[in-house]
Amino acid sequence: MFRSVARSAVGKHLLRRGYGTVSLPDRKVAVLGAAGGIGQPLALLMKLNPLVSQLALYDIANTPGVAADVSHINSRSEVTGYVGEDQLGQALEGCDLVIIPAGVPRKPGMTRDDLFNINAGIVKGLCSAIAKYCPHALVNMISNPVNSTVPIAAEVFKKAGTYDERKLFGVTTLDVVRAKTFYAGKSKANVADVNVPVVGGHAGITILPLFSQATPKANLPEDVIKALTKRTQDGGTEVVEAKAGKGSATLSMAYAGAVFADSCLKGLHGVPDVVECAFVQSTVTELPFFASKVRLGKNGVEEVLGLGSLSEYEKEGLESLKPELKASIEKGIKFANQS
């Protein structure tokens, strides 16, 4: 373990952030896979978050440089880097929130499910350590295929006797980020005012943006809605192809991951009415996990919100996504229980 401390002049509990003096609790956040394409910019963004007091950066290689670099930023948190499995326990001990962008990304021609063979084992190992060292932490799962890695995490936690369904999240915020950007482009709305729920899962047709509920209302024609839906579903592939073998979305994902983590921290802090879409244990459909809007609170998920009214096109999309999502969930559960 190595520690680089660059504390700002900011006091431990008091920060002045333009909106008055607020009292902030101590919160430890870990990023697992912190030296990766997502991990590095995500570490940067979490270092900028005033709700974080300790930032633990873990990877199997290259964490010392990332941690030393990020630690020089004059924001509140103390940054510590951890490298290799021997140091994973120390990275996790006392964590309130663990963010997992560890694992391999896609190359052109691959589906997210093609990552299963490598990433399932990585996620399983990391979640076993979470169960041991910080069983009460919120877990933000970024590693793909999210439709399977979240069920794997749930099974690992169940086996360890630590599972709390309110604390496990598949991060689908990038789908919402994309849907907002693409919708704003077509509707000419100010992107900062746009809201679009995205439900289902996080792969291809399992990503179901609900443009009928998008605000501000724009009354876009059906063919435009269909094109927006397809672009949102294929957003990850668009980036994979543009990067031409050099990985998948990292910067937009780090942004999305930081937005979602910030909402989780706000919920823990007792900020009211924090709502985000996320892939969670659910009874919204007959599937055991499903992405929909969730209200976040002091214990993680406070309420899983329903789907609201859907257009005919969205109803069809919902029925079409269920078999694939069900199979991906079952694949994850089976993997966790057989190995």
Ligand X SMILES: O=C([O-])CC(=O)C(=O)O
Ligand Y SMILES: NC(=O)C1=CN([C@@H]2O[C@H](COP(=O)(O)OP(=O)(O)OC[C@H]3O[C@@H](n4cnc5c(N)ncnc54)[C@H](O)[C@@H]3O)[C@@H](O)[C@H]2O)C=CC1
The only residue of 213, 248, 282, 285 in contact with ligand X, by rule CB under 6 A: 248
Neighbour-count burial for 299-329, b at 16+ CB within 10 Å, e otherwise: ebbbebeebeebeeebeebbeebbebbbebb
Contact between 106 and ligand X (CB under 6 A)? yes
Encode 309-339 in three state secondary structure.
CCCHHHHHHHHHHHHHHHHHHHHHHHHHHHC
Contact between 39 and ligand X (CB under 6 A)? no
Phi and psi angles of residue 25, each rounded to the nearest 5 degrees, phi first: -80, 170
Contact between 239 and ligand X (CB under 6 A)? yes
Residue 118 C-beta: closest distance to ligand Y, Å: 8
Residue 250 near which of ligand Y, ligand X, none (CB within 5-8 Å, type-dependent): ligand Y
Tokens 């994850």 belong to residue: 332
Residue 240 near which of ligand X, ligand Y, none (CB within 5-8 Å, type-dependent): ligand X
Contact between 240 and ligand X (CB under 6 A)? yes
Phi and psi angles of residue 195, each rounded to the nearest 5 degrees, phi first: -130, 135
The smaller minimum CB distance to ligand X, of residues 29 and 249, is found at: 249
CB 298 within 8 A of CB 266: no
Residue 281 C-beta: closest distance to ligand Y, Å: 17
Residue 138 C-beta: closest distance to ligand Y, Å: 16
| H-assigned helices in 86-234 | 88-92, 116-133, 146-160, 173-187, 222-233
User: Which residues within the stretch 129-148 sit at the binding site for ligand X (CB under 6 A)?
Assistant: 144
DSSP 23-45: E----EEEEETTTSTTHHHHHHH
Report how far residue 126's alpha carbon sits from residue 336's, in angstroms, rounded to the nearest whole number. 13
DSSP letter at 156 equals H
Contact between 112 and ligand X (CB under 6 A)? yes
Residue 59 C-beta: closest distance to ligand Y, Å: 5
The only residue of 126, 174, 176, 199 in contact with ligand X, by rule CB under 6 A: 174
Phi and psi angles of residue 198, each rounded to the nearest 5 degrees, phi first: -125, 125
Q: Specify the stretch interacting with ligand X by CB under 6 A; choose among 24-32, 81-89, 104-112, 304-312.
A: 104-112
Residue 142 near which of ligand Y, ligand X, none (CB within 5-8 Å, type-dependent): ligand Y
Residue 104 CB-density burial (10 A; 0-12 exposed, 13-18 middle, 19+ buried)? middle
Residue closest to ligand X (Cβ): 236
Q: Which of 13, 72, 202, 269 is catalytic?
A: 202
Catalytic-residue membership of 72: no
Residues in contact with ligand Y by the rule CB under 6 A: 32-33, 35-39, 59-61, 101-106, 115, 119, 122, 125-126, 142-144, 146, 171, 174, 202, 247-250, 253
Tokens 């999240």 belong to residue: 169
Catalytic positions: 202
Q: What is the binding site for ligand X (CB under 6 A)?
A: 105-106, 112, 144, 174, 235-237, 239-240, 248-249
